[in-house]
Amino acid sequence: MAKKKARSRKVEAKMDSTAPTLPVVKTDGFANALTGLGDRNHDSRLSTVFRLGRLLTDPRLTALYRGNGLTRRIMNLPAVEMTRNWFTINGDDKDVVLQKLETLGAQEAYTDALTWARLYGGSIILIGLDDGMEIEEPVNTERIRDVMFLHVFDRRDVEIVHESIPKDPTDPLFGKPTQYKITPITGGSQFTAHASRVVRFDGAKIPGRDLQANNWWHDSILEAIYEQVRQIGAVYDSSEFIVNEFIMTIIQIDNMLDTLMAGNDDLLKKRLEMLDLSKHVKNTILLDTKESFSKHSSTVAGLDKLLDSFMMSVSSVTGIPVTLLMGRSPAGQNATGESDIRMWYDSIRSAQRTNLRPRLEMVIRYCFAAAGDEPETWSIEFNPLWEMNAKEKADIYKINSEGDQINVMNGIFGQEEIGKYRYGGAEYNATPPTLDMEDPDRDAIKNLSEQETARMQAEAEAAAAAAAAE
């Protein structure tokens, strides 16, 4: 009985759900014993794994940005495009805030911050506020008298204060630093700034555990695209050797090896100098009876397609069209230059809304507070990125003119109103008219429209009555 009970206890232990279990390893897949497909001992593909390489150091990132033109363009272009045409503020009728941002050099500051975040994985803009509080204390929005400056620091100059990160999951700032230690490059003493005075920019996002291991900063954009940038650089360097050795000159000299072994190097050098001199002066070659001179050219067929494939590789990992990345016009039967650029601008527009807008709103809100008259509702509207050519502008002008003529003929708008709406501003207004129909100044036009409608209705009724009488 004792043995049976012991055995039953072993069975129960095996069936206990709380007992530790071995990890499940999936080994399903196609296999072929004859060809070795799916057999790890014979199928080399199964030994292919991906490993994260060594992370790029700050000096390497700096060297790539300063010394490699393609890297610089990849870092700069998205940041420049996001801020190139800037924005307008709906609700800031007198452009008070926009003028203040221009005084602060905000456009350049945001461009730099976006660029350094892409390069180093993070950056900040320190907002100088006159609110009567210390820089390490939260902003008192009720006492803001002025926005004094916007200073940009990249990740190398900023240290996260780990103790300032809220650990309470119910805290709105849970997992986010509330204080930053800044070391000025001018050599001043290190100081601490509160997060409410800092606009933070991030590079390539990484998971939370990696973020913590990376001192709460994200990765450089270059980490994931470095291999493609290195490859295209190597291909261009190799193509230079091909061009340099495109034409190879071959000279056959009788008993050349015997001459070298006899120590008569000077005779051989003198002979080559005579050949070179005669070639340049007389455009002829003087040869002995047992000498020969010939040229052989290498082939470069397919080199352009090879370069294009590496360009496409860089374009795919950066998201930048080849036409913008390499500065060339669309080529080939499948050229989609305009379509690619429009898709690129769509992605920039999305980045403006999700990445740039909240970081602009923070500074704009402080500017409104300093001005003392923040509107009840205001919003940022980014200016269009796509610049129309002359033909596109002419087509829009023609369509608008035809539509405006119909509206004037039907009494919906007056000629003066349309003229003021289209040409009353600093430039031509191509948007559909949004005039207020309840404006008291438009009573005459409204009456005219009502009279015209009544007249047309009477004519229609008279025509219907005449048709019924027949």
Same domain, 230 and 135: yes
Same domain, 465 and 335: no
Nearest partner of 307 among 236, 243, 242, judged by Cα: 236
Same domain, 74 and 191: yes
* pLDDT of 333 over the 50 cut: no
Same domain, 73 and 201: yes
Nearest partner of 133 among 122, 150, 145, 115, judged by Cα: 145
Q: According to the model, what pLDDT value does residue 440 have?
A: 53
Same domain, 357 and 413: no
Residue 16 domain-assigned? no
Number of domains in the chain: 2
Strands 191-194 and 179-182: antiparallel
Query: pLDDT of 401-455, one tens digit each?
Result: 888 888 888 877 777 788 888 887 767 877 777 655 555 555 555 555 555 556 6
Q: Which domain holds residue 69?
A: 56-242+331-387
Query: pLDDT of 4-39, one tens digit each?
Result: 555 555 445 444 555 555 555 555 667 777 777 777
Residue 118 domain-assigned? yes
Nearest partner of 222 among 88, 119, 301, judged by Cα: 119
What's at 247, amino acid-wise? I
Which region, left, alpha or beta, applies to residue 121 given φ > 0 means left and ψ of -120 to 50 means alpha? Answer: left
- pTM as predicted: 0.72
Contact in structure between 124 and 203 (CB atoms under 8 Å): no
What is the token pair recorded at 22? Answer: 């071995």
CA 208 to chain centre: 23
Residue 229 domain-assigned? yes
* pLDDT of 108 over the 80 cut: yes
Residue 445 domain-assigned? yes
